[in-house]
Amino acid sequence: MKTNKCARGSLSRGVSASSKRSGARLLVVMAMIFAAMSVSAEIRRNPNGVNVNSQGPTSVFVTFGGLDDQVPVEATWCGELISAAPDIGQRCDPSTIFGRLPVRFDQSKLSSNSAVFTDIMSIPPSVARRAYQAAASGETSSFFYVRRFVSTTGGPDEFVFVTCRLAGGGARVPLALLDVQVRFAGEETVEAVDRGGLLPDSVAEIAYNGTGRLRGRWEVVLPGEEPPSSRDLLTAASLAPEERALQRRFNVINRFDVFLPPTGRTVLPGPDPKRLPTQLDGLYQVLLRVEASDDKEGDSSLAAAGAGNGVIHSGAVAGFPMPVLRYAVGSAGGLTAVRSGLELLLPEPGYTLSSAALDFEWSQSNDAALYRLEIRDPRGALLHQAVLQQGIGKYRAPDWIAVRGSGGTATWRVVVVSSDGRDAAAAPWREIVFP
């Protein structure tokens, strides 16, 4: 009986040990499977580290690849990272956050297949200053840019970071435009000229990081042509490769190709005044179109980001649209409004109302204390007006506007009202078609 007990005990111990070994192997296999799944699902980026200006802003083109039903949300800069568990990756330590990407600088774009995401990391001066102060107080001389991606299918969030190394604004920093100002001689951004007349010279004053070639062209938008959108005015290096060829082109006046030394500032001559058209009355726009150039410090490898093959050249990246010069020929209506900075944005000329919602938008004027929006019916009678405060450039009209204006063409404009109650400027009337 004792022997049997011992045999049973020995058999029991053998079965137990065998089960433990099998369980351990199963755990190892499962861990390998989960690790492989995690690696395959990991979002990759390139560049994963970049030199940035410690004394000012910096813009860098970054490619993210391997998105799987994920969409980007906020972007944050910080001094230290911590585990994002139970989410994926490493997120910012809340106690070391330097700032978040301002909405006005967010030029990011998901590709058409939603697996690739291109981002313009535009570091504002305030973040660079805080990172420099942290380094001066004994912290590391690098900080982090962290993008959070959210799953649309209920999966965990994923945090992906790019290391930013503090440096000067010279040759080892990506070539990026930081500030661009265009003007005619005499500091004017708007000029008036008689038909057949000659416009004054113009220049573009450019502040930049890095060094390399600045390539591009000057174009002019003729009266009656549809004006460019804000993305049309971005430099080509600020767009995803698939979007660069889709930018609208206008009449080319001059081309330029100049070398930018690592000095941080340059003055680019404007287009030849003799080639600017002045034969037709109306309002013209002169556009600074900047093309992408080769820049080793700012190149983005698609293979390294898991987004395909090849390299994206992003020399002359910028986090903002290029400014526009304007000139009026002859008795172009609305010149006073243009000089004040007022410009009608939406709806576009000849817009046909397709729903009950009718939204108006216009640019801000430095001369305005108030704005008065006027809408007149097809007979010219005042249909509706609204007064809005400075800083507000949008207005949604009441739903009954579509009913009262039905079957005709109405007109609208915005009037700038100065602090003393006078009408300081008014935009030209623009048409809306009510079906």
pLDDT score at 338: 61
Residue 108, token pair as written in the block: 């990011």
Question: Other CB atoms closer than 10 Å to residue 107's CB: what's the count?
Answer: 25
pLDDT at 7: 35
pLDDT at 163: 96
176: region left, alpha or beta (phi > 0 left; psi from -120 to 50 alpha): beta
Write out the two tokens for 271: 């287009």
| pLDDT greater than 60 at residue 16 | no
Residue 285 has pLDDT above 60, yes or no: yes
Mean pLDDT of 270-278: 94
Q: Give the global pTM.
A: 0.68
331 pLDDT tier (thresholds 50, 70, 90): low
CB atoms inside a 10 Å sphere around CB 150 = 15
Query: Any idea which of 4-8, 114-118, 342-346, 371-375 has the lowest mean pLDDT?
Result: 4-8
Compute CA distances 183 → 174, 205, 206, 330, 343, whole Å: 26, 8, 12, 20, 18
Q: Is the pLDDT of residue 172 over 80?
A: yes
Cβ(62)–Cβ(305) under 8 Å? no
Q: Is the pLDDT of residue 284 over 80?
A: yes
Token pair in block for residue 286: 């002169």
Q: Looking at per-residue confidence, does 170 or 130 come out higher?
A: 130
- φ/ψ (deg, to 5) at 343: -150, 130
What pLDDT, on the 0 to 100 scale, is given for residue 334?
55
Q: Are 212 and 259 in contact (CB under 8 A)?
A: yes
- Check pLDDT > 70 for residue 27: no
CA distance linking residue 71 with residue 109, whole number of Å? 10
| Average pLDDT, integer, range 386-402 | 85
Q: Is the pLDDT of residue 121 over 80?
A: yes
Average predicted confidence (pLDDT) for the chain: 83
How confident is the model over 11-32, as a mean pLDDT? 42
Q: Looking at the predicted structure, is the pLDDT value of residue 32 above 60?
A: no
Q: What is the pLDDT of residue 297?
A: 87
The per-residue pLDDT for 112 is 74
pLDDT of residue 422: 80
Our measurement of the distance from residue 194's CA atom to the centroid of its chain's CA atoms, rounded to an integer in Å, reads 37
Task: Put residue 263 in one of left, alpha, beta given phi > 0 → left and psi -120 to 50 → alpha.
Answer: alpha
**Would you say residue 62 has pLDDT above 90?**
yes
Measured CA distances, 434 to 249, 293, 322, 382 (Å)? 31, 46, 35, 16
Rounded to an integer, what distance in angstroms lies between the CA atom of residue 180 and that of residue 234?
12
pLDDT at 93: 96
Q: Which of 6-20, 103-117, 333-347 has the highest mean pLDDT?
A: 103-117
Q: Please give the pLDDT value at position 37.
A: 38
What amino acid occupies position 179? Answer: D
Lowest pLDDT segment from 266-280, 334-348, 359-373: 334-348
- Looking at per-residue confidence, does 23 or 29 come out higher? 23
How far apart CA 357 and CA 104 sit, in angstroms, is 25
